[in-house]
Each structure stands twice: as structure tokens, then as C-alpha cells.
């Protein structure tokens, strides 16, 4: 855990330059616009430790799988969003001496990410080894008003230097993924073009043949006046640049404006790509930095208007929740259903920028509640589009008859994870994808999603579960062998409670959906029945048999469901009793020791208690929480959020607050010592969830909005906003509780168990009350 | 399965050249002398598919581990015996046209490996693309009379060619391991030297700094007369050669003799290595091919005298058993306790030539019974020497206080396997190493091994077991969680019967050994107690508690021990019912499907029934055999041998014979479609075991030799020889049963349950009888 980020309500601030933390800051100060994103690398050359990172959503490469020993069924490749051309580069030389913060004496260093406007600013004074001293203020943003545009304003003042300034503004396409499995390069150059102040570089990905074109135009001002003298284009292999040479006198201020336009063959025909980028760049240059930034800021303001969460009286908590919301918004804009949310967003290479169950389980609710409904729907459609691939994936593992197993890791619907215990066995993800359909329909009320899309995905998944279980004569019940639950500190276990629960629930829900579609969309139902060769009677009969006869490991002494068969053979020792020097255990214990220990990485049995909250009473939840939470080490970034919510539900306010802070400031405080790899973007959806469900007690049941708010002791007030079935509500908890309906739609709402009607544009004010036990 | 090897009692014969089978033949016709070995590559250049392979025992490289996702505790490297310099090379050019069997028209091709003398012979007629026609007879051996010597006699007759013969006799050190993890080269050149007909090349391994020097001297005869004209040495990077040019007339016969000497820094000081090799080469040349071969043949004859097994009436079975014995003898000579037996011997790169539990479980008995006792003892000492490393290995996994976990894969005592389910969990190997001590002492009667060596190894292993189990309140017993048994088609199971059995047995045996050492070697015992901080009372009290309270999964309905907890939740379907197109399942089923199936790769529960045969009655064995064998797919090369023995014990003669043939001809008939990777050398120990225990019914109990012979229906007779506690016995079963004592020592022997005394140099003849049920 680190504590070097200054607490601030709307900003992430690093004061003073610590080279050892540079990779962490590069992650924390990342900027993105849903289509392209980058780590907070320096514009000028930096020879210190750094991960240069620029990523384009959807532009991936199938890197040859690396394993120790091949297992039958492993995917051939691991897809990764590629590290793409670096367009921010500005090499600066004073009388030939290069500006490099790894070699200079750096003072007054400040790095600021303004979350309101996604502007990255960096200021410093550098004294070069020769004694030359300059001041720099660099600003940069990637426009969300026009996703193809980015801009840099880099101001440099000479304090004591008089001499020749050399400047090279470049695009470098000779990029290698740091996590390449076999040290290969994944890009080839296809085209380039330069003028005196423009440079264009078109690159193609190997194998996948994505074409990406970047263009930059660089303007140089000295003491406010644009200068055009001594400009020269420069080209090299996978490299284009514009160079500038000019005399500088101590006290001079120069300003470099660098405009960037980018697009890819995802959106433009390959042969028109460079022309398109040229035109787009001309547009950007015509607008100028300030106007571009204004349009961008306005769009951000609009986003914050519906998505912001306010905390009064706790700057750390305020900064934490805004940082999480900010990252979610800049990572995924939801305007292209081919895209999804990588665990690290655009902030690093780990996990390859590909899609996990994180999206459905942790991110979907945020987008449902704070963004236009289409955005959440696009997240579901992403999986619907991959249904045939999921059926292929299942067939590779021996399943038949349209059974669908969605991949653990994917970019185009094919599985590309290469650990058998995850790929082949962590199949609860299939349930999470089914649950997301339920969750979306339950929250939005959009039952129209079911007939054309939801039903066939549910059918494929249900068919998978029906084949994946087998009858055990010994137990006189259905069992599910050889799975890995959400707790990845177990592998290849039998009858994981959560996975068995997901299977049974999916079968039940699918049958409900079938009844609905049959009744409401009979024509479509008969079409779908034919299309999928669905034997309704035969298949549902088997499903019902499984639903009724599934085995769930249970301890009748403790009256708890067991995470898996044999769980009680373990030595149960509270995590609090572990030697702190051995935490986190995944960095200190050998894998076998972790596996046979009782320690749980993240909610597993409790994940079912979270999702199926309406099926368990509070006392049952309390028993399970008290058994499982003390042996949970929360070493997954996805753990604290669910535990915060559950703690709140059983009235453990302090535990809830502790768990909440841990998820909210996970990256800002580098809790897990891994922020340098990138941010835990998908777990940030969990943070939002934790906020609104822990402190707001938000829930939806039978179409009804439920709230059960509580205010942590150290806070003065909090407020958040949600879209709910056409209404837009502002929920505020302070000295009193207040809901404001910012819409023309009346809404019923249950607060602390009591029903209220909230008129169109109306308000509801209630006296504060503690959580109902 | 293939059937292209001609059946012959003493030879392996390939008639006709099939390029597609070349890699298989390269494995099958491999030759070795315990210190150096090579695949049966061609001397002349061959551009077709081939794995050039030359290996030196003990000369290894720690290749950087390759895994998909790193687990804490993985070893940094995977050690591999390196593919070393190729010294057999003879390039042959006729008027500049190269002899290359991939490009020539090949007729009358015969490859013969004479098992009596380990001579590799190859004959063929080649018509080159231009029409030039030649006949070749090539002979090669690696001397077992002098382990540093090899020789080639290569006779070439021109049928129709008159013109210039160009010959290049070389050593090529620019060798890459085909299985290198990162495509690196592991050798650097340190020295080289050439004369007109000699070439020397010294190479060093990277990281491990083993030095190896090869020297060759080449003589050329035309029509029987040595020619010295036009000889030129040639040197290049990692390459030395002697070239010869001479005119050839149709009908001419040339003969090339190439003598090789080799040694390494394992045996000679690095700076004297080349001089040593020069002197050794001079010796070899002075002897000449025929005399060298004679000494070599005499030594082989001596080996066969004690180790041969004769089968009458079944050439396939005769060839099979001799091939297995031959390979065992040429792989391991037992004269250096730093060496061991790699799963592929010197015949390929797979498994890296490193040591597995195969040695203790399958190879030890062969060497105990057919070779001087020191050789078997050296196999035990290999592990004794690694005890401290085994304690280190255990410490890396969190064990303390001198607990020892021997590695799954090793060359120098460090673990170097990189699959967690094997490395960390397949811990029954530790039991196999303990069992080998028992087995050795039980067979040889050499109790003197226990105090100075056996005890401390047993102590370390027992300490490991004592920590590896844990108490389960739920079961009110000790349990062992998260293991992989010998059946590698299961991973991370709880309470594997065999592993639990090994643990309990080790603890019991260690306590017996403690009592013996304490009584017979009290001084040494007190020294060892101090050395290992052994708290006899406290530790043995805990061991006794474990022995008495260990959990063994049991099904009371079927009255069988279960392979692991929950085994009966699986669908039990006989392997015979599987679709033959899906066999072997490890090549057709995804890994998860295999794991959750009931199918067993090799004896697991039955391995305990094999080792602890005196603890179970025949009826119990029969029940277990009838439950487990039908669901065993025998996809491990180590499976059939154990099942043959057990089948014989319960009177299933046909099953025993079927299983025996499968192990005996595994490689000759390429049963598993993988002989091209190399031979299953360690499983050949299992074949020997299967022979003497299946057909001979050999056993030793309380120092008494037991025999329970049966003659398969299709055989006329069989005979084998064993050393037993100073006696040398020949056991023959034909129309009558006969034991001949070729020693001065009288021996008691129990045949078919009846005790007999066999006088010094005496004979025992009994009428044939069927196996006692």
C-alpha cells in the first residue's frame, strides 16, 4: 500500500517526482475516450523505467499460446489488444543535450489528472546535467467529443539557456508488446506520409490485418508567435516525424501544439484510411486546442451530471469513488457493440485487454443505472453476437446439441485463456452471462430483449448445464464435478455451491423466459424452436429433474452451505491469525499450500448470496457471512465490493465501510502492489455497485425500486444519481434523506421497507433512520 | 500401432526405407554405453525428417521455465540433458553431387541393431538423381569396454560411377535442442584443433559450464589399401572436419574408418581434456575397429549371461523382452552414482533426460536382480546425495524442520517440473523413494544400507508426511488434501488412497528402521539423532497417531477402497464401451473431460496392491482389480506391467499375457504413436518386472525367495536368471520347472507355496503346475 497521491475531490495529484513510482503513476494518470487510450507517459524522451502504452479498442492480435505442458483443448492463441503507435513523442534537445527526466535534476514536479475534464497536466522544472534549466507545463487530452482526436499543449520556458533548440515531434510505430509471449513484433508498416509540419503513419497488425492510421500536425510558437522556420520532415522504418530547429534566448517561452487524428479499419475502409485521417486532422487543427478542449469538457460535464457520486466530509472516499467512475466512463462508451471492457481498460497490457465475466458481474449495473439504456444493452449484445462461437467452444470440449460455453477470456467469442483450471473449469462465468440478462431485464424492465436475444443465449447455456452435470448413484442426486468457482484459490473441486446454484438458477430462469416468450411472442417462439431444434418438453423435463435433484454440499451442524464437497476437511483458521509477513498469500505461499488451505480469494458461496439475495433470509446470510468472510483474504480486486454490500445487509456498518474503502482506493493507494501493471478497471464497476448498494441499499425487486440507505459515521452526506425505467433520480443522504425526481415520470420507491410515491419532478424527504436489521 | 519391425530373436530389423518412419527408427535403433548415446541417425547428410540426437549422461542445461501463468513456487528452470556435438558426420559427394537418402532412389535398405553386441548396421543401394549408383554398408558402435570410444566403419562401393569422390568427416558442435524453450543455443565453443586426419572440438555448456571434448580420426581405404592423398583439415565456427578428395572408378570399394574419443569435465580436469582425448583417440586407433569391437562384444556377452531372458515358441515376445533388457543395459551402467535413468534414456529429448520416480518404482528391481549389487545401491545413493536439496524443496513449499520432498523431476536434486498439479501435488513420489529403500533391503538383505544412508532419507520423508496431512474434525481422522496420485488423469484430489497409503507405510517403516538402527548401530543412531535434531519420542508419537487415524476412502457396498474422496460421484462406464475413435482419450478429449471422467491412466489404487501385496488377500485384490482395471485406459507406458503382474496373481492368465505383450512391444510396435520422441526406457524396467513377476511369480518375503511360475499357452518355455543374495539362479519353465543354482551358495526357495532347498551348484526340477489361486 502506498500513500503518495494527494487527496483531492476532483483531481488525482502527484507532487514531486518519484522515479520508482513512475509505472504506477503512468497507470493512475491514464486517459482514454472509449476508443483509444494511453498510459500517462511523458511526451519527451524518458530513459527511466516506464511502460509506454497506447491502445486502440478492438485492435488485437492472437499471440501464440505459451504453456509449459500442452493440454488437449487449449486454445491456440491468447488474444491481446495491442500496444499501438506512440503519437505523443516530442524529443527536445538544447544545444544537442536531450531533455530526459531520468537524467535531469527535477524540481516542482506536479502531475494532475483532472477527473472533471480528463485533462492530464504535468509541470516541472528541470536542470540538465550541463546546468541548463527550463520550466515545462504539458497538457494533454483525448477527446470524447470526437473519438478520433487528441491534442497536446507543451509549454517550455528557458530559465537560463541561450542556444539552439532542436525539436522532434514524432509518431513511432515500432512498438512491441511488453507481454509478447515470444518477443515478436505484431505490427507492420503499410504507408507513411510527411509534410513540413504533418506526419502520417499507417500500420497493419499481423494475422488479424487491422489497419490503423495516425496523423499528427505540430505547431510551434515562440513567445506567442507562430514560427515556421527550419522545419523538416523525417521518415524511418515505422517512424515519421517533423523536426524543428530554432535559436532560443534565456527567458523565451515556446509552446508546442500537437494535434492527433487516428482511425482504424474497424470504422473506415482501409484504402480511405489515410485520407480520412488527413481530413479529420485538418478539422482538429482548424478548431484549435482550446475549442477542442471546450467541446470535450462539455461532454464530460454531461456525463458527470448523471453519473457523479458526491461524498461530504471524507475527501479520500470522495476522490476514490470519482476515480472509479471516471475510469469506467473513459474506458467504455458503449457506442459499438463489438467492444467490451478489459480488466485493465487502456491502462496496461496485463490480461490482454480482453473480456472476462467481470463485465457482466461487476460493470453492467453501473452502465444500466448511469448511462443510456442502449449502452447496457450493447454489453449484452456483445455476448449474443458470440453465441455461435460459444457453441463451438463447448463442442471443442465434447458438448453437443447447441450447448454453449462462453469463454473465460475472449475478444471475438473464441476462448483464449490457457490455464486448464480456468479455461475448462471456471464455468460459473456461463451463469454470470445468463444472470446479466436477468439483471438487465429486472432493472430496466426491457422484456423486449428476451425474445429476439435473451432466449437463445439462455437456451445455449441451459443446454450446457444440463450436459455438464451427471447423476451420482452414490449421492442420489445430480453432481457437477471438476469445476473452479469464483474463488480461484481452489481448483478442480466437486459441487462448488455457487456453480451448482448458477446452473439450477439458469435452468429455472430459462424456463420462465420460455413461458414468457411462448405467451407474448408465439410466432418468434416457434421460429426459435425450429432454429435451435429445441425439444421443449424433453429438454425442460430434464432441466426440471436437475433443478429438483441437484446436490448442494451442506453442513447441518453449522447450518451452512459448503463452498464445495469436502470443504470441512480443511483446517479452518481465521485469516486474521495469519502472519502479516505472509500476506498476500498468493505472493508468499506456494500454490499447493494455497489450494489446500481454507483461504478464499473472493466471494464464492457469498456471491450466490449476493445475487440471489431474495432467496435467503438475513439470518441465513449472517451465518454464511460469519463463516466465510473471516477466511476470505480478499486478494482479488473483485472481493471487497461484494463483501461491503453483504456486510451492510446484515448491519455490519464498520465492516461495510472498511470493505468499501478498500475497493474505492485500491489503485490510488496501490493496495495490491500491482497498479503499475494497469488499473483494476472492471473492479471499479464493483466499487460503484458497492457504493449504491452498501450506502444506498439500492435494489430492484418485481419492478420496484428499493432503497435502504445508511450514512457512515465519518461522512456528512452522500448523493448519487440513477436512471430507473425512464426516470432520473437524485438520492441524497445527509442530515435527512431526500430523493429528487429529475424527470417527467412518477416512480414508486420503497425506502427502509416503506413504500412511497415520487411524483414527476417531485421530491421525497425522510428523517434519517438506521438500517433495518 | 505399427508393425514394420521384422520379428527376430536377437535383432531389431527394418527392411526397406520408409522416410515417414525415420524418426521412429532413429529411436528404436539408438545405441548407448551408459555414458554417451545417440539416435540412429545417418552418417551421411540427410535432408529428410530427422532428429539428430547425441547425448552425454550428466551434461545438462537449466533451460528457463516456460509456463502460461506463473504460480508461486515454480522452479526457475527445467533441466535438460543437452543434445551434444554430432561426431558421426560423413558428407559424401560424387562429382559434387551429395549423397542424401531423401533425394536418392533407395533400394535394398536394411537397418539392423544386433542386441547381442549393440552393433548398428545399415545397408542400402542408392541411385542418385543423376543416375550414379553406389552400395553402402555402415557399421557403428559405442564401446562399453571403454566408455570414451566409438567407431564407424563405412563401406561404399561404386556400381557405375567413375569420377571424383569428395568426403568430409566432421564433428558439428552447432547443435540446438529441438525442445529448447526459447530457441536458444546452449553450447559455446572453447577450443578446436585439426590435423590432416584428426579433428578435435571442445565445447562448453552455458550456465552449467560442463566442458565436453570430442576427437575423431578418419582413415580411408580404397580397395583395401589405405590412401593418404589430398587430405585437408577444415575449421569453422563450432565445426571441425577432415576432407578427402580422390578419384573413383566404377567397381571401386572404399572403406572409411572413423574413430571417436570423448570425455567431459565430469571426469577430467577441463584444461587437460583435449590432451586426454588425444591420448584416448590414439589408443583406439592403435587397436583398430575389429579389436575394439571384440572387447566391446565380450563385455556385452558377459552382461547377457546374467540378464538374458529366453522365450521359446514366441519370437515377438522373445524380441520384445530382449529389446527392453538391451535398452536398460545400454542406458545405465551404474558406475557413477551421480547419474540416473531418464525416461527416454539417450534416445530423444522428451522429458529432458532427467530423473522421475520411474527409477525407483520400475527400474530398480531389474538392476537389483541382474547386475552387481553396487549398481542398485548407486541408484539409492543418488537420492541420498540429494537429501539436503529435497529438504530445500520442501522448505520452498512451506515445510519446516527437516521435512524432505524429493522432486518430481530432477537432475541435481532441485525440482524442475513446471506444472503445479505434478510438481506440488504428485507427492506419492516421495513414498516411492522410501519404498525403494525397503525394496532394496528386502531383496538384497543389505541392512547395512540403513544406518548410514537409509535412515536419514526416511526421516526426511516421514517428517514431510507428518506435516502434509492435517486433522479433519469433520472426518475425525487425518486427511491429505490436494494431491495427484499416480493416475495423472486426476488432479488436486483429496485423500488419494495410494498417497495416503504411502504416507502411513513410510511412517511405519521408518519406525521399524529406527528400532533397527537404535539396536544395531546405537552410536550412529545417537549421532544421527543429534545431526537431524530428531525428537524420537515426540515425532514418533505423532507418526503413530497418524498411522492409527488416517482416513482411507472406502465404499462399504462394493467393499473397495476408493481412489479418492468422491470417486463414486463419477459415471462409471467401462473403457471397453468407449468409442475406439476417441482412444487414446488424452489425444481426443479435452483435459477437463478426462479429469471428471472415471478413466484411469495407470495403476493408482492398484499400485498399492502391487507394492503392499502381503497386506491384502487375494479376494480383496480381485475385487479391486475387477473394479479398477475395466476403467483403466493404460495410456501411461507404466500401466501394463503392473496390471500384468496383478492379473497373474489372481489367475487371469490371458489378461496377464495381453498386458505383458503390450509393455514388452510398446516401442517396437509404436503402441502409443510416440516412439519417434524416443523410447520408453524407464517403463522397460517395468517390462522386466512384469516378466519375472507375471510368468515367474517372483517375490521375496522375510528374506525368502518365492516363485509361482506359469507358462503362457502359446509358449514352449521361458528362462531367466537372477542374482539373489549372493547366489545366481537360472529359472526355467517348460515341460517341467527347473532351477539351476550357478553359485557356491545354497538357497531356500518356495515354489508354488512349497519350500525347497537348492544346494550350491544344485538343481531343482518340479513337474509343471498351474498357478495357485
Q: What is the pLDDT of residues B180-212, one digit of tens each?
A: 888 889 999 999 999 999 999 999 999 999 999
Q: Are strands A704-707 and A747-751 parallel, antiparallel or unpaired?
A: parallel
Q: Average pLDDT for residues B541-568, to the nearest whole number?
A: 98
List the single residue in B73, B479, B566 with the smallest CB-CB distance to A591: B73
pLDDT at B353 (0 to 100): 87
A111-128 in b/e burial notation, b at 16+ Cβ within 10 A?
A: bbbbbbbbbbbbebbbeb
- Which of A585, A590, A674 is the best residue to mutate to test the B interface, defined by the most B CB atoms within 10 Å of its own CB? A590
Interface test with A, best of B573, B590, B627 (most A CBs within 10 A): B590
Taking CB atoms and an 8 Å limit, are A481 and B69 in contact across chains? Answer: no
Distance CA A724, CA A729 (A): 7
Whether residues B424 and A591 touch (CB distance < 8 A) is answered with yes
The fourth-level CATH superfamily of domain B699-773 is Maltose phosphorylase, domain 3 (2.60.420.10)
Please give the sequence-ordered ranges of beta strands (E in DSSP) within A223-283, or none if there are none: 225-226, 231-236, 239-248, 253-264
A 686-725 residues inside an 8 A Cβ radius of B: none
Strands (E), A294-349: 309-312
Q: What is the mean pLDDT of residues A634-640?
A: 95
Helix (H, G, I), strand (E, B) or coil at A544: helix
Any idea which residue has 507428518 for its cell? B466
Of all residues in chain B, the percent with pLDDT exceeding 70 is 99
Return the residue of B nearest to A555 by Cα: B474
Q: What is the dihedral of CA A411, A415, A419, A423, to 10 degrees?
A: 120
Look at B591 and A73 and tell me if their CB atoms are within 8 Å: yes
Residue in the block written with cell 539423532: B529
| C-beta atoms of B491 and A492 within 8 A | yes
The confidence band for B770, taking pLDDT boundaries of 50, 70 and 90, is: low
Yes or no, beta carbons of B589 and A420 under 8 Å apart = no
Closest CA to B475 of B548, B551, B559: B551
d(CA B24, CA B300): 25
Q: Is the pLDDT of residue B228 over 90?
A: no
Residues of A within 8 A of B491 (CB-CB) are 491-492
HSE (side-chain half, CA atoms, 13 Å) at A179: 23
Chain A residue numbers touching B419 (CB-CB < 8 A): 68-69
Q: What is the ipTM of this complex?
A: 0.92
Taking the CA of residue A627 and the nearest CA in chain B, the distance in Å comes to: 15
Query: How far is the C-alpha of B766 from the C-alpha of B709, rounded, in Å?
Result: 11
Chain B positions touching A482 (Cβ under 8 A) are 592, 595-596
- DSSP for residue A355: B
For A593, the closest of B398, B471, B491 (CB atoms) is: B398
Q: Are β-strands B747-751 and B704-707 bridged in parallel, bridged antiparallel, or unpaired?
A: parallel
C-alpha cell at A751: 425506502
Q: Which of A418, A569, A571 sits opposite B68 (nearest CB)?
A: A418
Contact check, Cβ <8 Å, A470/B570: yes
> The C-alpha cell of B299 is what?
563385455
d(CA A148, CA A141): 12
Burial of A55 per CB tally in 10 Å (0-12, 13-18, 19+): buried
pLDDT of A265 strictly over 90? yes
**Of A148, A92, A151, residue with least CA distance to A124:** A92
Distance of alpha carbon B550 from the chain centroid = 34
Q: Is B235 annotated as a binding-site member?
A: no
Distance from the A697 Cα atom to the nearest Cα atom in chain B, whole angstroms: 38
Q: Do B72 and A481 touch (CB under 8 A)?
A: no
Every domain of chain B with CATH number 2.60.420.10 lies at 699-773
Is residue A586 less than 8 Å (CB to CB) from chain B? yes
> How many whole angstroms separate alpha carbon B103 and alpha carbon B241?
24
As a whole number of angstroms, the distance between CA B95 and CA B131 comes to: 12
Report how far residue B259's alpha carbon sits from residue B288's, in angstroms, rounded to the nearest whole number. 8
String of b and e for A414-430 (b: at least 16 CB within 10 Å)?
A: bbbbbbbbbbbbbbbbb
Cβ contacts of A586 on chain B, cutoff 8 Å: 72
Looking at the complex, report in whole angstroms how far the Cα of residue B87 sits from the nearest Cα belonging to chain A: 32
Residue from B97, B415, B456, B488 carrying the catalytic annotation: B488
Contact by Cβ (8 Å): A289, A151: yes
The tens digit of pLDDT for each residue in B499-514 reads 999 999 999 999 999 9
Chain A residues whose beta carbon lies within 8 Å of the beta carbon of residue B396: 590
Res. A771: pLDDT tops 50: no
A69 to chain B, any CB pair closer than 8 A? The answer is yes
In whole angstroms, give the CA distance from residue A25 to residue A668. 9
- Which positions 723-752 of B are in contact with A (Cβ < 8 Å)? none
Distance from CA of A418 to the nearest CA of B (A): 7
- Spatial neighbors of A756 by CB under 8 A, at least 6 apart, are A748, A749, A750, A764, A766
* Residue B41 CB partners (closer than 8 Å, separation 6+): B26, B50, B51, B52, B53, B86, B88
pLDDT at residue A767 in the model: 93
Flag if A425 and B588 touch (Cβ within 8 Å).
no
The predicted pLDDT at position A773 comes to: 35
Q: Which CATH class is domain B5-62+75-305?
A: mainly beta
The alpha-carbon gap from A573 to the nearest alpha carbon of chain B, in Å, equals 13
Q: What pLDDT was estimated at residue B772?
A: 41
User: What tens digit of pLDDT does each residue of B158-180 get?
Assistant: 999 999 999 999 999 999 998 88
Catalytic residues of A: 488
pLDDT at site A78? 87
Q: How many H-runs (helices) and E-runs (strands) does chain B carry?
A: 21, 33
Q: Where in chain B is the domain with CATH 2.70.98.40?
A: 5-62+75-305
Give the whole-angstrom CA distance, residue B470 versus residue B736: 54
Residue A472 with chain B: CB contacts under 8 Å? 568-570
CB contact under 8 A, B491 and A494: no
B306: closest CA among B240, B371, B362, B226?
Answer: B371
DSSP letter string, A137-194:
EEEEEE-SSSTTEEEEEEEEEESS--EEEEEEEEEE-----TT-TTS---EEEEEEEE
- Average pLDDT score over residue span A86-110: 98
Does the structure show a pLDDT above 60 at A736?
yes
For chain A, say whether B234 makes contact (Cβ under 8 Å): no
pTM value is 0.94
> What is the C-alpha separation between A81 and A55, in angstroms, rounded?
7
**Does the beta-carbon distance from B592 to A418 stay under 8 Å?**
no
**Smallest Cα distance from A424 to chain B, Å:** 6
Task: Name the DSSP class of A205.
Answer: E
B578-627 pLDDT, tens per residue?
999 999 999 999 999 999 999 999 999 999 999 999 999 999 999 999 99
CB pairs under 8 A between A and B: 137
Asked if B72 and A587 come within 8 Å (Cβ–Cβ), the reply is yes
Q: Check CB contact of B267 with chain A, cutoff 8 Å.
A: no
* Helix (H/G/I), strand (E/B), else coil: B501: helix
Chain A nearest CA to B490, separation (Å):
9
Query: Which chain B residues are within 8 Å of A492, Cβ to Cβ?
Result: 491-493, 595
- Chain B residues 593-632 with a CB less than 8 Å from chain A: 593-596
What pLDDT, in 10s, does the model give residues A184-203? 899 999 999 999 999 999 99
A72/B589 touch (CB, cutoff 8 Å), yes or no: yes
Is B372 part of the contact surface with chain A (CB cutoff 8 Å)? no
Quick one: average pLDDT of A68-89?
90
Architecture (CATH level 2) of domain A5-305: Distorted Sandwich (2.70)
Mean pLDDT of A207-212: 96
User: Which among A409, A563, A588, A580 is positioned nearest to A487, based on CA atoms?
Assistant: A563
A186 to chain B, closest Cα gap in Å: 18
Give backbone dihedrals phi and psi of A355, rounded to 5 degrees, phi first.
Answer: -95, 130
The closest CB to that of B72, out of A419, A493, A586, belongs to: A586
pLDDT tier for residue A772 given thresholds of 50, 70 and 90: very low
| Candidate from A78, A568, A591 with C-beta closest to B474 | A568
- C-alpha Rg value of chain B to the nearest Å: 27
Grid cell 469433520 is found at B474
User: Are the C-beta atoms of residues B680 and B697 closer than 8 Å to each other?
Assistant: no
Residue B262 is placed in which grid cell? 570423448
With cut-offs at 50, 70 and 90, classify the pLDDT of residue B362: very high
Per-window interface: A 468-527 vs B, CB < 8 A: 470-475, 479, 481-482, 491-495
Amino acid at each position: 500500500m502506498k500513500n503518495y497521491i494527494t487527496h483531492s475531490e476532483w483531481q488525482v495529484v502527484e507532487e514531486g517526482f518519484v522515479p520508482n513510482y513512475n509505472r504506477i503513476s503512468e497507470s493512475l494518470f491514464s486517459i482514454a475516450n472509449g476508443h483509444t487510450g494511453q498510459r500517462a507517459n511523458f511526451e519527451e524522451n524518458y530513459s527511466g523505467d516506464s511502460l509506454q502504452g497506447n491502445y486502440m479498442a478492438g485492435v488485437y492480435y492472437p499471440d501464440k499460446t505459451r504453456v509449459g505442458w500442452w493440454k488437449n483443448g487449449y486454445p491456440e492463441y491468447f488474444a491481446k489488444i495491442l500496444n499501438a503507435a506512440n503519437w505523443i513523442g516530442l524529443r527536445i534537445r538544447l544545444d544537442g543535450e536531450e531533455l530526459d527526466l531520468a537524467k535531469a535534476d527535477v524540481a516542482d514536479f506536479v502531475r494532475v489528472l483532472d477527473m472533471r475534464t480528463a485533462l492530464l497536466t504535468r509541470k516541472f522544472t528541470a536542470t540538465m546535467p550541463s546546468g541548463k534549466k527550463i520550466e515545462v507545463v504539458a497538457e494533454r487530452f483525448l477527446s470524447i467529443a470526437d473519438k478520433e482526436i487528441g491534442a497536446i499543449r507543451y509549454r517550455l520556458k528557458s530559465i537560463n539557456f541561450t542556444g539552439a533548440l532542436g525539436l522532434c515531434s514524432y509518431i513511432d510505430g515500432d512498438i512491441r508488446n511488453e507481454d509478447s509471449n515470444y518477443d515478436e513484433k505484431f505490427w507492420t508498416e503499410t504507408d507513411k506520409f510527411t509534410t513540413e509540419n504533418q506526419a502520417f503513419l499507417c500500420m497493419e497488425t499481423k494475422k488479424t490485418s487491422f489497419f490503423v492510421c495516425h496523423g499528427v500536425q505540430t505547431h510551434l510558437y515562440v513567445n506567442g508567435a507562430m514560427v515556421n522556420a527550419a522545419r523538416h520532415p523525417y521518415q524511418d522504418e515505422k517512424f515519421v516525424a517533423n523536426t524543428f530547429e530554432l535559436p532560443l534566448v534565456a527567458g523565451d517561452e515556446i509552446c508546442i501544439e500537437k494535434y492527433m487524428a487516428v482511425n482504424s479499419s474497424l470504422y473506415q475502409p482501409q484504402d480511405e484510411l489515410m485520407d480520412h485521417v488527413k481530413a479529420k486532422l485538418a478539422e482538429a487543427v482548424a478548431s484549435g486546442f482550446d475549442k477542442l478542449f471546450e467541446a470535450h469538457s462539455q461532454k464530460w460535464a454531461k456525463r458527470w451530471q448523471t453519473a457523479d457520486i458526491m461524498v461530504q466530509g471524507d475527501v479520500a472516499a470522495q476522490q476514490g469513488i470519482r476515480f472509479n467512475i471516471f475510469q469506467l466512463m473513459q474506458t467504455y462508451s458503449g457506442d459499438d457493440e463489438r467492444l467490451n471492457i478489459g480488466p485493465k481498460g487502456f491502462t496496461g497490457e496485463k490480461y490482454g485487454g480482453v473480456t472476462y465475466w467481470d463485465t457482466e458481474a461487476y460493470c453492467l449495473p453501473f452502465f444500466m443505472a448511469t448511462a443510456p439504456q442502449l449502452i447496457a444493452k450493447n454489453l449484452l449484445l456483445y455476448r449474443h453476437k458470440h453465441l455461435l462461437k460459444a457453441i463451438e467452444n463447448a463442442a471443442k470440449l465434447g458438448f453437443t446439441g447447441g450447448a454453449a460455453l462462453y469463454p473465460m477470456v475472449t475478444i471475438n467469442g473464441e476462448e483464449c485463456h490457457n490455464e486448464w483450471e480456468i479455461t475448462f473449469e471456471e464455468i460459473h462465468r456461463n451463469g454470470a452471462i445468463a444472470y446479466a440478462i436477468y439483471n438487465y431485464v429486472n432493472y430496466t424492465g426491457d422484456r423486449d430483449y428476451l425474445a429476439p436475444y435473451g432466449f437463445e443465449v439462455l437456451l445455449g447455456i441451459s443446454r450446457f448445464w444440463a450436459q455438464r452435470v451427471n447423476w451420482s448413484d452414490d449421492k442420489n442426486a445430480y453432481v457437477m464435478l471438476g469445476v473452479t468457482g469464483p474463488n480461484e484459490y481452489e481448483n478442480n473441486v466437486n459441487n462448488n455451491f455457487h456453480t451448482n446454484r448458477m446452473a439450477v438458477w439458469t435452468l429455472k430462469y430459462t424456463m420462465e423466459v420460455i413461458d414468457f416468450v411462448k405467451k407474448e411472442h408465439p410466432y418468434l417462439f416457434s421460429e426459435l424452436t425450429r432454429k435451435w431444434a429445441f425439444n421443449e418438453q424433453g429438454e425442460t423435463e430434464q432441466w426440471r429433474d436437475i433443478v429438483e435433484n441437484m446436490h448442494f454440499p451442506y453442513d447441518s451442524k453449522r447450518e451452512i452451505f459448503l463452498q464445495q464437497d469436502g470443504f470441512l476437511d480443511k483446517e479452518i483458521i481465521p485469516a486474521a491469525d495469519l502472519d502479516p509477513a505472509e500476506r498476500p498469500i498468493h505472493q508468499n505461499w506456494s500454490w499447493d499450500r494455497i489450494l489446500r488451505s481454507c483461504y478464499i480469494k473472493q466471494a464464492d458461496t457469498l456471491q450466490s448470496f449476493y445475487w440471489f439475495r431474495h432467496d435467503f433470509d438475513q439470518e441465513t446470510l449472517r451465518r454464511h457471512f460469519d463463516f466465510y468472510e473471516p477466511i476470505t483474504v480478499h486478494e482479488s480486486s473483485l472481493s471487497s465490493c461484494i463483501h461491503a454490500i453483504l456486510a451492510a445487509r446484515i448491519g455490519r456498518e464498520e465492516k461495510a465501510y472498511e470493505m468499501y474503502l478498500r475497493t474505492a482506493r485500491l489503485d490510488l493507494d496501490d493496495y495490491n502492489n500491482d497498479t503499475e501493471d494497469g488499473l483494476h478497471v472492471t473492479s471499479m464497476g464493483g466499487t460503484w455497485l458497492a457504493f449504491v448498494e452498501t450506502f444506498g441499499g439500492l435494489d430492484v425487486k418485481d419492478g420496484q425500486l428499493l432503497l435502504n440507505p445508511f450514512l457512515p459515521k465519518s461522512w456528512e452526506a452522500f448523493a448519487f444519481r440513477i436512471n430507473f425505467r425512464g426516470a432520473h433520480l437524485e438520492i441524497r443522504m445527509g442530515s435527512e434523506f431526500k430523493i429528487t425526481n429529475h424527470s417527467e415520470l412518477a416512480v414508486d420507491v420503497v425506502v427502509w421497507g416503506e413504500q412511497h410515491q415520487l411524483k414527476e419532478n417531485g421530491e421525497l424527504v425522510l428523517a434519517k433512520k438506521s438500517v433495518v436489521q
